[in-house]
Structure formats: structure tokens, C-alpha cells
């Protein structure tokens, strides 16, 4: 089957100049990209986007989708207090987990995301996998596996061996399913909640299965300092000694880093995901992305969980990444619009091991985001990249395709009755009073 998206405009590397764009899709992959009209044949499905901006699908490189049910009820708390409140209150039924994950997926689609890198609640991960699969999104998923008591949190109910078995079972059940849309990575939740045994075992299992590792790293100052007490090393030094770092390792947050930590991340070609809305809202700290960038580290962007960030809108996150980068070193040239655009497309794909996502090239997955153009805040092709990053939001997204299949066209979801879903979910949220902080 062939699909043609025609009469759009798009950015062309290396300078990201704007020119006409037509994209021909065969089955799930891009067959041709051209500034000139493309003949698709009489049986092709044709979408005339009428001058809208056509770009590679946005990659959200770190999510906790079920936290959509926690948005707005755990506000005004610092990271440590917020985390404890979540641990003691955020306990959902299976029905609530599915609805919350699907709500997050709907918000992601409507704001232009085509891929989510989800760290799921390990005990209910199958439900979250199913929601992502049902939504039509591409999902690279891990569980939040821990085997060590973190701070004032509860004692873990599984040891390292049991958690590694659970990771392996997750891989066997889900990796490569839904025509390859669903993939699995190893997910030790983060060193404050993991033993050395679990960390080393995660690396061994990742190597055995040929997948990567996704973990939180140096998110809070108190949590990061715990590593010095337990191991006599910084958090990054410890996980480096356990063998985790490398091109297939994704480190989420990476805030409380020493210069040596940043050198280790760069030397091992590990990936970093920054989540600026979370970092500012629950006062994690100022992300040191400029010095990582100067070291050549691959930086991607994540919306994290809505309980801490308040949004699954990657365009808002991209803007904040750039602004925080500029103010951190008082350098107005830091994180230009083009660089942040790459963070939410090709850099995000690279961080989670996708070699055929994030760009418009023949043979790449047909994951596509269409932005309404022109608009009052998006005028003049010569400055469109800057205006996309600094002025656009998810509300400007018109259509979304994954594997060439439309998930939203002209702002209408194609996989569900959005109005009914929102009304049903609203009733479920109203009844979920057990989630409220006590």
C-alpha cells in the first residue's frame, strides 16, 4: 500500500532551509522525499496538507504516562517530598492505569509526539504496554525496577534476581510486538533504589538480549549524595564501574554532575535525557546541559510524568530546554533552535537505539508530524525554525502518522472517539479520591 503526503513545506538539512515537501510512503516506510510533485499511482491514499509544515515525528525520550492522573494534585513539593507523596498515595486499579496511560498517549499524539520512551510501573507494565500499543504510538518501554530501599520509601518486595527475571519476562512478552512498534529496554529505576547486583545484572541482561538501558541518574541532590555514602563514588562513577555506561545507555535528568561525571558520560558516548519542566516544577536543580553539549554528548528531551512536569507537550519542553541552556551560562547562542529541533527528533531516536526514526530518509519509518502553517505566530518561512521552537505549542499540531498510519488528521483522532474517552476518563478521575494526598 502506498500513501502520499503532498503539498507541504519542510526543513532541509544541513541548514534547515524551508522548501516544498512531498513524502511517499510504501507500507510503513518512507519511499521518497521530494521538493517536486510525486506520482503515487491510482490506488494510493493521498493527504493534501495544503502548505502545512511537515516534519519527522517527535520523540519523547522519557515518560511516565500513568502520571496523567496525578497532574495537579501533588504540586508545590520539592523532589524528595513529591516522591514520597507519590509513593504513599499514587496507587491505581488496573482500570485506572489503562485509562491514565491512554490519556497520556492521547495528549502526546495531539501535541505531535509519535514515539514515547516509557518507564512503566513494573507491577502493571502489561497494562501500560497495551495502552501504548492500542493508541498507535511507537513505544520503547522499560519497567521501573528497584531492589533497594530509597530514603523513607517502602522496603522493596523483590530482590535483584527476581527483578532481573521480571525484566526478562517483559522482554519476552513485548519486544518486537505490534509489527515492531513496541520495543523493550532494561530499566533499573536508578541507583538510589538499586543495588550493585541489580545494576550489573541489568547490563549483563541488556548485552544478552541486544537491547539498551534506560535509567534515572543524578536527579536530586539528596538522592545523588546517597551514592557517596553507599559506594564511596559519585552516582555516575558508580554506575560506570558497574558497566552501565555506553552508547546504548540513556541517563535521565543528569543534574547533579561533577566535571568528572560529565567526562565519563562523554567518553562512553552515553546519552542524556533532560526533562526541564519537571526539573523546574519540583525544583530538582538546574540541568547542566550546556557543558554536556560542549563535550559532544547526545542530548534528548523528555516530558517525564505529568505529576511532576504538568505536560506531555514536547514543543513546550523544547522551548524550555533552549531557554534554560541560555540562562545557565548567560550565553544567548546556546541551544539554537536547530539544535533543539534535533534533540526532539534525531537525537531522541538515537538515545533509545532507533536507527530508522527521526529523519526523512528512504527506508526510515514513516513517523510524521504536521504543523498548521501559516498562523499568527508562525509567519515567514525564513524564520520558521526559530518560531517553531520559541512560539509553537502542541496546539499547533494538525496531523500525526506512525508507520504511515494516521493517528490524527485535521486535529481529529482516528483511533478513538476522543469526546467519549475524555468524558469517561473524567468520571473515573473524579472517583479516584484515593489518589489525593492524605
CATH number, residue 406: 2.30.40.10
- Which of 351, 375, 390 is a domain's end point? 351
Angle CA 56–58–63, to nearest 5: 160
pLDDT at residue number 15:
93
Q: Do residues 174 and 95 share a domain?
A: yes
Q: Does residue 210 contact residue 204 with C-beta atoms inside 8 Å?
A: no
0.85 exceeded by pTM: yes
Q: At residue 121, does pLDDT exceed 90?
A: no
> Which pLDDT tens digit goes with each residue over 12-63?
999 999 999 999 999 999 999 999 999 999 999 999 999 999 999 999 999 9
Query: Above 90 in pLDDT, residue 222?
Result: no
pLDDT at 151: 80
132 and 228 in a single domain? The answer is yes
pLDDT at 123 over 90: no
Domain membership of residue 361 (yes or no) is no
Classify residue 207 as exposed, middle or buried by CB count within 10 Å of its CB (0-12, 13-18, 19+): middle
Q: Are residues 68 and 42 in the same domain?
A: no
Answer yes or no: is pLDDT of 154 > 90.
no
Whether residue 265 is found in the same domain as residue 394: no
pLDDT of residue 211: 98
Enumerate residues 6+ apart whose C-beta is below 8 A from 430: none
Which cell is 410 given? 485535521
Do 252 and 208 lie in a common domain? Answer: yes
Residues 317 and 407 placed together within one structural domain of the fold: no
Q: How many domains does the chain have?
A: 2
pLDDT in tens, 258-268: 999 999 999 99
Shared-domain flag, residues 299 and 394: no
**CA-to-CA dists, residue 364 to 239, 317, 403, 407, angstroms:** 33, 25, 9, 18
The CATH number of whichever domain residue 227 belongs to comes to 3.20.20.140
> Which structural domain range is residue 239 located in?
58-351
Mean pLDDT of 373-402: 97
Mean pLDDT of 421-438: 94
Residue at a domain's end among 351, 376, 400: 351
Question: Do 388 and 320 have their domain in common?
Answer: no
The predicted structure's pLDDT at residue 153? 79
**pLDDT at residue 412 in the model:** 98
Q: For residue 14, say if its preceding peptide bond is cis, omega within 30 degrees of 0.
A: yes
pLDDT band at 215 (very low <50, low <70, confident <90, very high): very high
Cβ of 191: how many Cβ atoms within 10 Å? Answer: 30
Specify if 426 maps to a domain: no
Q: Encode 157-183: b = buried (16+ Cβ within 10 Å), e = exposed.
A: ebebeebbebbeebbeebbeebeebbb
> What band does 147 get if pLDDT is binned at 50, 70 and 90?
very high
Name the pairing type of β-strands 271-274 and 298-301.
parallel
Q: Per-residue confidence at 337, pLDDT binned at 50, 70, 90?
A: very high
Q: Are residues 251 and 400 in the same domain?
A: no
Domain boundary among 308, 324, 351: 351
What band does 152 get if pLDDT is binned at 50, 70 and 90? confident
Q: How confident is the model at residue 230 (pLDDT cuts 50, 70, 90)?
A: very high
Residue 356 lies in a domain: no
324 shares its domain with 206? yes
Same domain flag for 137 and 234: yes
Average pLDDT, the chain: 96
Q: Based on the fold, state whether residues 291 and 342 are members of the same structural domain.
A: yes
Average pLDDT over residues 226-238: 95
438 found inside a domain: no
Q: Is the residue at 418 inside a domain?
A: no
Provide the sign of the torsion angle of the four alpha carbons 109, 112, 115, 117, taken in this order. negative
Amino acid at each position: 500500500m502506498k500513501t502520499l503526503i503532498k503539498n507541504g513545506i519542510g526543513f532541509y538539512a544541513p541548514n534547515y532551509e524551508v522548501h516544498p515537501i512531498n513524502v511517499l510512503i510504501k507500507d510503513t516506510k518512507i519511499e521518497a522525499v521530494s521538493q517536486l510533485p510525486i506520482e503515487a499511482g491510482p490506488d494510493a491514499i493521498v493527504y493534501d496538507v495544503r502548505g502545512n509544515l511537515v516534519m519527522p515525528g517527535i520523540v519523547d525520550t522519557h515518560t511516565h504516562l500513568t502520571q496523567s492522573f496525578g497532574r495537579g494534585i501533588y504540586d508545590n513539593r520539592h523532589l524528595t517530598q513529591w516522591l514520597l507523596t507519590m509513593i504513599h498515595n499514587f496507587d491505581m486499579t488496573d482500570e485506572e492505569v489503562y485509562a491514565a496511560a491512554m490519556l497520556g498517549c492521547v495528549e502526546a499524539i495531539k501535541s505531535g509526539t509519535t514515539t514515547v520512551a516509557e518507564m512503566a510501573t513494573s507491577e502493571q507494565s502489561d497494562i501500560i504496554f497495551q495502552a501504548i500499543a492500542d493508541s498507535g504510538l511507537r513505544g520503547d518501554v522499560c519497567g521501573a525496577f528497584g531492589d533497594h530501599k530509597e530514603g523513607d520509601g517502602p522496603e522493596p518486595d523483590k530482590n535483584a534476581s527476581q527483578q532481573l527475571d521480571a525484566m526478562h519476562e517483559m522482554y519476552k512478552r513485548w519486544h518486537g510486538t505490534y509489527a515492531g512498534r513496541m520495543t523493550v529496554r532494561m530499566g533499573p529505576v536508578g541507583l538510589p533504589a538499586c543495588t550493585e547486583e541489580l545494576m550489573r545484572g541489568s547490563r549483563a541482561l541488556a548485552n544478552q538480549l541486544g537491547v539498551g538501558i534506560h535509567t534515572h541518574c543524578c536527579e536530586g541532590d539528596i538522592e545523588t549524595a546517597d551514592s557517596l555514602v553507599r559506594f564511596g563514588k559519585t552516582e555516575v562513577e558508580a554506575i560506570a564501574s558497574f558497566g552501565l555506561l555506553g552508547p546504548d545507555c540513556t541517563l535521565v535528568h543528569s543534574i547533579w554532575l561533577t566535571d568528572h561525571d560529565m567526562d565519563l558520560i562523554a567518553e562512553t558516548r552515553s546519552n542524556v535525557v533532560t526533562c526541564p519542566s519537571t526539573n523546574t516544577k519540583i525544583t530538582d536543580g538546574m540541568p547542566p546541559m550546556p557543558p554536556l553539549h560542549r563535550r559532544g554528548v547526545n542530548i534528548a528531551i523528555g516530558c517525564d510524568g505529568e505529576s511532576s512536569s504538568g505536560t506531555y507537550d514536547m514543543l513546550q519542553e523544547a522551548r524550555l530546554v533552549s531557554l534554560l541552556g541560555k540562562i545557565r551560562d548567560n550565553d544567548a547562542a546556546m541551544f539554537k533552535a536547530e539544535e533543539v529541533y534535533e534533540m526532539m527528533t534525531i537525537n531522541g531516536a538515537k538515545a533509545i537505539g532507533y536507527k530508522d526514526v527521526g529523519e526523512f530518509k528512504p527506508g526510515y519509518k514513516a513517523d510524521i508530524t504536521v504543523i498548521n502553517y501559516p498562523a499568527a505566530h508562525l509567519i515567514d518561512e525564513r524564520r520558521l525554525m526559530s518560531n517553531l521552537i520559541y512560539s509553537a505549542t502542541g496546539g499547533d499540531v494538525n496531523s500525526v502518522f506512525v508507520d504511515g498510519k494516521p493517528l490524527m488528521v485535521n486535529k481529529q483522532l482516528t483511533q478513538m472517539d476522543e469526546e467519549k474517552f475524555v468524558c469517561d476518563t473524567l468520571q473515573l478521575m473524579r472517583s479516584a479520591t484515593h489518589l489525593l494526598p492524605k
